[in-house]
Structure 1
């Protein structure tokens, strides 16, 4: 039988795990090697493990695998798993010895609940429908509430949403004899799950509580209808006057008689409802009544303290232990520490502090980030634990991300991850951005430096102190219309016209993709901001990073479409990345060198625009002077000779560090492009 597979690695994405490994060193002299995956669910306290069960799905399959990767989906949230990968061949069953396998231990993350699978109708009248349902099969946590969306059949653009903490609701105010479509989804701390399939129910054509004399029904209905219309005309006349200036007076009494089920206030009405429910109405995508779960700009509050206490939990300073300083922010230090809340175990947190001697504006801006962050609840958005405002220093407390900012982390680990792991990081960022986009929030400063990454390689979007950029941010530049924005990450229309939308965030996401696939390289290298603006406007785009799958680079180019309406939406990006993760073979086709050259900016080389007089001068300019002697000894004594160097040549010369290989090859590519354009003689 074969020996065990080697170098198995995992990539955790919520409740899915992707495994990849290298074939065994010894195949047993046979060619019929395949792989089997054993899945065990382990108790962290007792250390005991049991088989995962039939609910776990394996893509493409659990046994008889021919390729060296597999994806497990439908795992439980916040659960420890051990996966054993075993190589087998035609004689493995005859082997009396112990199994040879490689094992991988993982812990799944938060996950949204699965869809509600069945909905039952209860009491139905001519104006209302009562429904009940079961909790989702996989809640993946405590269900905080349900969201029920319904609309009249074929009128999908005008719909109503009810929020309920119970598994029953009554939708009232419906039309008699009409069909309505209902969909339900559940929410946990990880966010909303998907909507259920559509359930269709119909209201009664007439009231079941009619008079026993059925022949009188048409007359009663007509009379009541005429009466209601007359009352509505009178009420419309009264409301068009100055009711809210002088008090509603006797008009409110009349309205109360006409509409006993409505609680009237000046200006709008809200249906009486169960306190466990919230009700919201939409028409063509616009809110008709207050209550929808969308982002609320804290700057619209007259009193910023009201905003922060509405969206963020106040924490007692005595619950926080500050351990060490890990960085500096605009307003003060950033520290790591621990938080101990009543009834919970102590856990690590990050703490932003407001420096002594702050102005009221600085305090307002500092807490503004908490007011924004506190509205978000998603596994790929940095989680706000709370704020300290009643004592000094003023603090914002968030979850702790062990690996820090994504750009720095990638630079430290250049070339250390598989393509699938990098795609998993990108998928997490896209998922967080989809959530923000759905909430109606535009980030404006999406960049790898503003993504945090934890020990499980889960990426989370952070830095919500924007809709502005710090005045001393080296990445920012003034625009012609005033204000500072991060030019290298910003869409052309946002630079030129301050037109920030989710589509401009998609452009920035394309730059983040490039940063991730190039392990934290600086976009557009050392070009000036003005040169970047000019080049992008003329249609130039960043080249593909080295060894980048063609499918990923094409997605980057899609994100960099000049017409913002042609760019993909974040939900489409998430879907596309999911397909790539499920089908790893689609990532094996790499961008060829000619494609990299055609998209590379030609007018400003990152290492200078003049010709190099010697190989040594060129290597010194890109900080690779240590290799000068090796190049010269192996016959690369002129720039003409250097121009023919390949990646294989570099390895032969002893340039083994991936980061050094990339730096040299990128420099050569840039010079070749300039040669093609008659700019720089090599």
Structure 2
């Protein structure tokens, strides 16, 4: 009787258990006999007790799939190996084994959406989100994916409307989207991830804050000035960082034609400037206009907005500037046009009071005199051109006209510091000086023309001394050939060419500079030959990216941290060698740094002669590189090259190496860089760059050139970093590499 009662109870429990499983109400494992093995009620109960303590939720799993751990993962385990001990009444009972099957509830292995998603704060180019993790329910959460879709933006750049995707492997409560466009509204979707599978999604609308208007407005043009007034022409501005709410017209008086920077925060009305003793004030404001140009009369005595347009005093030098004001979300930003003597040449005037009648009489006489003078000068110029053409044709006819290449005038890469290192060659016959250079060469550097083959259709670059084309030396050695024509260079360029060539020969060979192979001379041409390398530093870094760092559990690059820091050190050591020989490179950028593979390792090869070669895109199109993007601010402003301007450029290349070829200042057009750098803008720091390494770069980017690091100090730090490279760089990181934007790096 007792046995029958136990059997009835056992049968009832099994039926209830099976029904619960079918309804999805029970989680755990269930023992089922095979080959008519007898089930023990205590045995089944103990297994249920253990499984209820270890609460699971699993996906549909077939009979050959077994889960024996309290984590979510699917694994094929051989039959009979899925055993877990159950402890009950101090007895160990195996829940599983050869004669049982595990039965699981149908569920989901995907996490749900994040909870309580809010915007923590925003900046001009960053949105930071806060949220809580989704309900786990036994599922595994490996990370998140954020997709930002542009809903509305003021930027005119096509790339500004790209969708942005960021990955983060570790489940965090805080998510940061950077490198965004100012004054832009985004629809941001956060996707919970289980490895490569998408879970729940949650979206939120957020916008970046207003930034200063960019690009900088054109300098207004003064069309006419008379007694106390000036008629200026203002061009309609373009603002990629927000709306244009108004234009502010600024008058800035200068002494003895010296230009003094003004403090934008002190700009105010004419009366306030007069009370404070300031030499600059806002003389009027006008609303946004749609036409291309608009005229404004300075000094007409009217009031525009809250500003009184005061008459201009006589006999004073003054500049006219325009400020672009942008207002959005109760925030206003203003950008003023550059205040430089070069840019403001057309807006720099002296007002003088004159008598109207006398001015009319004298103006007629002046017009007549100027007309006669212009005609005489034009005739003299025309005659000179005709005479020069006649002499050139008769005295020095061309023999190989098909080899002629057009020249362009660019700044030289190599410049010797003005301390007597290279003697001045002005006034010396250019061809005689070239012969002296040839006589100073070693025999193996005097190349016979038949040993040099040229691919005249494969132009690699155009510089001030001539074209750079691809060639081969002795039929099998690839080389770069600088094609020089003495007749096509003006005397100042000839002087620079001799100076650079002497500098090149004087400091000789360095293992990390493009090797000078020799010179070949013909009747009309002069070929300077260098070794060729397959890739620039920019191409090398981009080719070694790993899918932009998006692959989970994978490094951002297959290059080692030690290898990249070694390349930084090699480049720094090469620049130190140049500065030791009193040579300013003047054009350091990632396109003038070449990469060569030697003895199974990559090494730096710095180009120190000639122009920056073309950037060849994926479509095969050649474009000139916008070298100004790597210039120090004093170079952009007044073309002041120095050892310290090289340091600034070197710091930018260090950042490019760390970011595997990303575009420096990726959110700013080149013509806006000076004003942004002057206000403290620098390339961003990323999580894979240590604070120490980033600080080393910041020391190279000081606005005051005198405060920048010395090259010897930078090289010393880079040498020390090689002892612990993974501390300073670590590419096993969360997130995406910054973008490479080729359109920003080429000249338009």
Note whether the superposition's TM-score is higher than 0.5. Answer: no
- Bigger radius of gyration: 2
TM-score, structure 1 normalization: 0.38
